[in-house]
């Protein structure tokens, strides 16, 4: 069996440097960001095999996405679409609050369809990872998610779902039944307490496990995580780090867990790695730039100078 397969929209990321209102920003950086490609990059950086698939536009941003994801060690299947590559604009209004605006309606990524996901890519994977973002983009993207999940289930491929609810993409009312259906088809589920409460009977791992998944991990930021894995409960505290940029921490967490799962690690070790990769990610600006290697995780153990 192969490694991780994931797909979804990756966008260009315009980020204001510094902290304060967007109108007062003096400089900007340009990068890429997307939950699924972030996870693929994180897995690859930790030594796992990862494939990302998505649609990009015939523009410089689309070319940048394809080249940068591939340069990170991810097998990249970028389908060029006639529409534009989506963009997101992010600024830190204060040290505690970040705002992201999306420009993605009708984008190349939103035009993903079931025909874009070859069945053999799914059946040859060890883990299919999807998020709750893609079903919110369009009817065709939603169909791609559910078709690939059913293909994976029929082939005995592990299905991983990160709920990743985005209020700017759809309402709680519209999202809840779709996310509940998606989670009920998964083997591994990641959610925040708030996301779990959207469609489950509560915000605990047990509430999500009632829907069927054997592995449920509730990630709770600075409070660490709680998990229910094959009927056994686990709890892992967060690591104390200096937060530079909180964006991408959840994706890094997922990447750490799935990379260790691919490597055959125990549930305890998967959660330790997930916490460490999530903590490392918040110490570096950007969505995926801070994805650590296994050697770099040593920095979190007090070895802050490598000679």
Catalytic residues: 251
Q: Report which secondary-structure segment, H or E, holds 62.
A: helix 60-71
**Six-digit token pair at 7?**
């797909």
Whether the Cβ atoms of residue 229 and residue 215 lie closer than 8 Å to each other: yes
Alpha carbons 41 and 48: distance in angstroms, whole number: 9
Sign of the alpha-carbon torsion through 245, 249, 255, 256: positive
Give the up-direction half-sphere exposure of residue 14: CA atoms within 13 A in the CB hemisphere.
Answer: 14
**Six-digit token pair at 267?**
């549930």
Sorted by sequence, the CB contacts under 8 Å of residue 249 that are 6+ apart come out as: 221, 278, 279, 281, 282
The CB-based long-range contact list for 56-60 (8 Å cut-off, 24+ gap) reads: 56/10, 56/80, 56/81, 56/85, 56/108, 56/109, 57/81, 57/82, 57/83, 57/84, 57/85, 57/107, 57/108, 58/82, 59/84, 59/85
Whether the Cβ atoms of residue 226 and residue 216 lie closer than 8 Å to each other: no
């Amino acid at each position: 069996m192969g490694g991780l397969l994931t797909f979804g929209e990756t966008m260009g990321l315009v980020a204001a440097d510094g902290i304060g209102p967007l109108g007062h920003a003096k400089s900007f950086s340009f990068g890429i960001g997307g939950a699924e490609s972030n996870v693929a990059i994180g897995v690859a950086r930790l030594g796992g095999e990862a494939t990302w698939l998505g649609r990009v536009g015939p523009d410089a941003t689309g070319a940048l996405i394809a080249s940068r994801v591939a340069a990170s060690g991810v097998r990249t299947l970028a389908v060029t679409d006639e529409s534009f590559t989506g963009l997101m604009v992010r600024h830190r209004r204060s040290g505690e609050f970040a705002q992201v605006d999306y420009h993605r309606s009708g984008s190349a990524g939103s035009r993903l369809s079931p025909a874009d996901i070859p069945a053999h890519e799914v059946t040859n994977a060890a883990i299919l990872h999807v998020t709750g973002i893609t079903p919110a983009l369009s009817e065709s993207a939603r169909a791609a998610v559910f078709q690939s999940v059913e293909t994976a289930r029929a082939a005995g491929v592990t299905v991983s779902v990160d709920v990743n609810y985005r209020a700017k993409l759809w309402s709680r009312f519209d999202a809840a039944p779709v996310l509940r259906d998606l989670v009920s088809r998964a083997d591994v589920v990641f959610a925040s307490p708030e996301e779990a409460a959207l469609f489950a009977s509560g915000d605990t791992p047990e509430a999500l496990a009632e829907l069927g998944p054997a592995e449920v991990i509730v990630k709770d930021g600075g409070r660490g995580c709680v998990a229910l894995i094959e009927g056994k409960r686990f709890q892992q505290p967060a690591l104390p780090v200096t937060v530079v940029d909180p964006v991408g921490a959840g994706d890094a967490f997922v990447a750490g867990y799935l990379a260790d799962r691919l490597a055959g690690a125990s549930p305890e070790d998967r959660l330790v790695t997930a916490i460490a990769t999530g903590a490392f990610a918040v110490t570096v600006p950007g969505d995926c730039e801070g994805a650590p290697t296994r050697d770099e995780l040593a920095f979190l153990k007090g070895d802050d100078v490598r000679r």
